[in-house]
Amino acid sequence: MAVQDPRTIVATHDVVNQARPLEDYNPFASDASLCEGIVREGAAWAEPELMAFGEMTGRPDVIRLGFQANQYPPVLKTHDRFGHRIDEAEFHPAYHELMKIGVAHGVHAGPWRDPRPGAHVARVAKHYLLTQVEAGVGCPLTMTFAVVPALRLQPEVAAEWEPRVTSLEYDPRMVPAPDKTGCLMGMAMTEKQGGSDVRANTTLAVAAGAEGPGQEYRLTGHKWFCSAPMCDAFLTLAQTDRGLSCFIVPRWLPDGARNVFRIQRIKDKLGNRSNASSEIEYFNTYARMVGEDGRGVPTIIEMVNHTRLDCIVGSASIMRQAVAQATHHAQYRKAFGKLLKDQPLMQNVLADLALESEAATAVMLRIARSYDAPAADAREKAFSRIATAVTKYYVTKRAPHMIYEALECHGGPGYVEESIMPRLYREAPLSSIWEGSGNVMCLDVLRAMAKEPDALPAFLDELEAASGKHPDYDAHLAKLKNELTRTSDMERAARRIVEHMALALQASVLLHHAPQAVSETFCRARLAGDHGNEYGTLPTDAPCVTLIERATPLSG
């Protein structure tokens, strides 16, 4: 048999017409909305630190950590090799490296360590950048951050735990908290029979001696969702004779023995797979009461409000990463004779996605500023209360469809696991479900209107400040006011009303601060209805190239 001359063999394995991986870039410097937003919302002082943080989170080795943490998810170890019950989650080293980055840069504690103006805005920006690498570390970082206001309601507990949870040292060892250089905090509220209706919880708390705030109790019950079971302590809810109360449950007893904290299983979840959400059981478990007896929900809501802000951040972050991936891909991929970025129909899709992402990022930063307001600023605090719930509802709802459309921009290569897009898509529904699903958030908005008389006026004041800047905005605002005053069945109409509130808030921020190409297009497409049911249906004269250029990452 004749041997073929190698020079005549046609190569079949050359890879052509593919974008290189999006890495070796700075996701902070490449994000116009983020860069502009931190300055206007009071965190200009953090720009050098954020620039350095962005450079790190765009490095190939750091991006790879996110892939590894998902490829090797946590494993439950209920017993050690000698048969002792240990109830520990074992993580891949990549997860620990990402946690170390987050803790070292104060994603879990920045505003508590250095409560200067703009501290919450700067922290949100870091969280937004780190989540683009991997969202699974967000849960323990968020829980640890959000627990501080609740702990401060019980000063002696805060004095013990706040220095631990605000340390910049990541210490993953499962040892008693006094022996660690830094601690993390989780939360366990949801039960099998209750879901979001936590007042239906059946976990019982019995006083070990004296009753009341700061005292020791023993808990027995089953929590169906425990966030981050590898943490060192947890805020949880249980029933006393006076009603539902808040407690802190440490993993170790004061004498150095293990507390009873039985991890029944690690949840097999749709997304957020690198994080070990779990189902746990308390059985005569040691705890201390935090806040007033029978006032558990008002106590823990101090934590929930901050975690809801991070739900907004989480969705805005992965939306931004999805747009970055799609616009980057379009810079290199050719079809039908020219690059995707130069094709009018693809330009409409990418511009529409960029518009959605920019609106989410801008409103995220505006709400973060409200958390920086001093306690005496009653108006800003009232605005924060209602704006967080409104935006948490809407932005988290927009993420799944938007990210799917960004995935489709890649075609088949975006559907495979080597791409980050499937991970982003699986992650997308989480923030809408976490800390109150859609209906719960809408009811919370109605509750704020009814029980906090300053909340709605503060929100409307914010919207009124943008009046006169665009006719479509003015018409939308007038319609919204009419709905708020004349709707007879507010609960049945709650989703519609909250959606209109969210769109008005996004538009107001963009009208104040974004380039005209952004704000004008947003008002026409999102408020005036010059838009179809799918992304890529902006008006034909929309400034698509300008919108895309603002969203395209600068990769080297």
> Looking at this protein, which amino acid is placed at residue 295?
R
Q: Write the CATH number for 446.
A: 1.20.140.10
**Which pLDDT score, from 0 to 100, does residue 2 have?**
63
> Which residue, 285, 289, 203, 196, is CA-closest to 246?
289
Residue 9 has pLDDT above 80, yes or no: no
- Same domain assignment for residues 60 and 105: yes
- Same domain assignment for residues 191 and 144: no
pLDDT tens, residue by residue, 95-139: 999 999 999 999 999 999 999 999 999 999 999 999 999 999 999
pLDDT tens, residue by residue, 384-421: 999 999 999 999 999 999 999 999 999 999 999 999 99
pLDDT tens, residue by residue, 443-482: 999 999 999 999 999 999 999 999 999 999 999 999 999 9
- Same domain assignment for residues 222 and 321: no
**Which pLDDT score, from 0 to 100, does residue 15 have?**
79
Query: Of 165, 188, 203, which one is at a domain's C-terminal end?
Result: 165
* CB distance 509 to 369 below 8 Å: no
CA dihedral 434, 187, 151, 120 (to 10 degrees): -40
What is the rounded end-to-end Cα distance, in angstroms, of the chain?
A: 50
Question: Can you say whether the dihedral through the CA atoms of 147, 272, 195, 90 is positive or negative?
Answer: negative
- Same domain assignment for residues 154 and 223: no
pLDDT tens, residue by residue, 503-531: 999 999 999 999 999 999 999 999 999 99
Residue 55 forms part of a structural domain: yes
Residue 196 binned pLDDT confidence (cut-offs 50, 70, 90): confident
CA dihedral 114, 120, 125, 128 (to 10 degrees): 120
In angstroms, rounded to a whole number, what is the distance separating the alpha carbons of residues 130 and 145?
Answer: 15
- Same domain assignment for residues 363 and 481: yes
**Which pLDDT score, from 0 to 100, does residue 10 have?**
63
> Which residue, 116, 22, 535, 85, is CA-closest to 321?
22
- Same domain assignment for residues 382 and 485: yes
**Which pLDDT score, from 0 to 100, does residue 256 have?**
96
Question: For the chain, what percent of residues have pLDDT higher than 90?
Answer: 90
Residue 160 has pLDDT above 60, yes or no: yes
DSSP 177: G
**Domain ranges, residue 546:** 299-551
What total of structural domains would you count in the chain?
3
Question: Can you say whether the dihedral through the CA atoms of 108, 109, 111, 114 is positive or negative?
Answer: negative
Residue 11 binned pLDDT confidence (cut-offs 50, 70, 90): low
In angstroms, rounded to a whole number, what is the distance separating the alpha carbons of residues 366 and 7?
Answer: 63
Mean pLDDT value across the chain: 95
In angstroms, rounded to a whole number, what is the distance separating the alpha carbons of residues 354 and 21?
Answer: 20
**Which pLDDT score, from 0 to 100, does residue 5 have?**
67
**Which pLDDT score, from 0 to 100, does residue 506 have?**
98
Residue 92 has pLDDT above 60, yes or no: yes
- Same domain assignment for residues 290 and 311: no
* CB distance 212 to 291 below 8 Å: no
